[in-house]
Structure 1
Amino acid sequence: MAQEGGMTAKLEIRKSDKAYYGGKPGVWQRLTLPPIPYLAITGKGAPEGPAYAEAMSALYPLAYAMKFAAKAEGRDFTIPPLSTQWWAADPTAFVQGRRDEWEWQAMIRMPDFIDATFLDAARKSAKPGPRRNEVRLEIIDEGDCFQMLHIGPYADEAPKLAELHDELMPEAGVTFAGPHHEVYLSNPGRTAPEKLKTILRQPVKPA
């Protein structure tokens, strides 16, 4: 971690890994990601539903407890944006809006130096809350991916995803290698829908 004036600089993952959090709006790009550690918790149901909200109340206190523990060791970092993997047993659940069938894994990226000892300590230091014991530290290896910066409402993602699934992936000779992954760069409670920034990511493998 860089030194500034004799003090350790705070790690800004979103800035240090710009390629993973940006791109030309509306344009699919291909990139290869290394294995990345995340705090993760799984669930089922619509993103505005109680299960997803409960997952947030489990994830964030632990993430901040780990941040403060790292800061005490001189390795402070900024909490990266929330991201979520989405899938369904029947993929038409997304097209037809059957949101109660959506399955997900909500995640917050962690620095590479974070390990299970940080999570164990965070469980003990954070205030008790529902589902805290279900949060785990998981290495996500997405590898070869298509990625796009989407600007606008979440509901407007469908045409771009259709372009990826029906045109770009077949042309590239690849198929799905993991769940659809979204990284939420904007706070929907503070940002107008037309200005929301979301990274859309799809891991792929040879068809």
Structure 2
Amino acid sequence: MGAFTFVGVAVTSSTGVIFGHVISNPIDLLAHIGGFTTKVLAIFGIILATVTTNVAANVVAPANALVNLSPSYFTFNRGALLTAVIGILFQPWKLPSSSESFVYTWLVGYSAVLGPIGCVMVADYHFIRKRELIVEDLYSSSPTGVYYYSGGFNLAAVAALVVGVLPVIPGFLEKVEILSNVPKMFRVIYGNAWFISTFFAGFFFWVSPIC
């Protein structure tokens, strides 16, 4: 994944130097490079990147989530197949119709929410619980369980999520044209939404007195 990400960034950046404007869509880039063999190799690379990166990144997590939701019914294979069906029903091919909206609205926007959730889990596991978990309580809804918290909700985690997302909201609202002329600082924050929201949320959760 890291290798394909680097190639994507490097190739996209180089198109600005070679062609005078940035071409972020690899399919559009194929129209600008010559030679049958080159195009065949490029298409093979795109297919390989899709299978090894996109499928792995976007199928494994929801398939495992379905298994956790109902271990008696779902196997990983069933979860992966259902994920594929749901993915098709969502018509994801409409998202890349505009690289601007796909990357800077959709991807950046939801990364600002998923990043804090992941960082809260990392902070809780590594820094607060010192990598010790009570497995039985993870799957228990008993009020006496360690992870029942307050009515079944970890209020510190919810607060950390809010703290992480709040700085990103003005830039997001400008991006979707709800607000206009927000201060430049918020545009910079939104451009780095994953990093800022993730570390804000993780640090707040770590130092929060109610965690």
Report the structure, 1 or 2, having the larger helix content.
Answer: 2
Report the TM-score range of the alignment, normalised by the length of the smaller protein: under 0.3
Structure with higher RCO (Cα < 8 A, 6+ apart): 1
Q: How does the TM-score come out when normalised to structure 1?
A: 0.23
Q: How does the TM-score come out when normalised to structure 2?
A: 0.23
Report the structure, 1 or 2, having the larger strand content.
Answer: 1
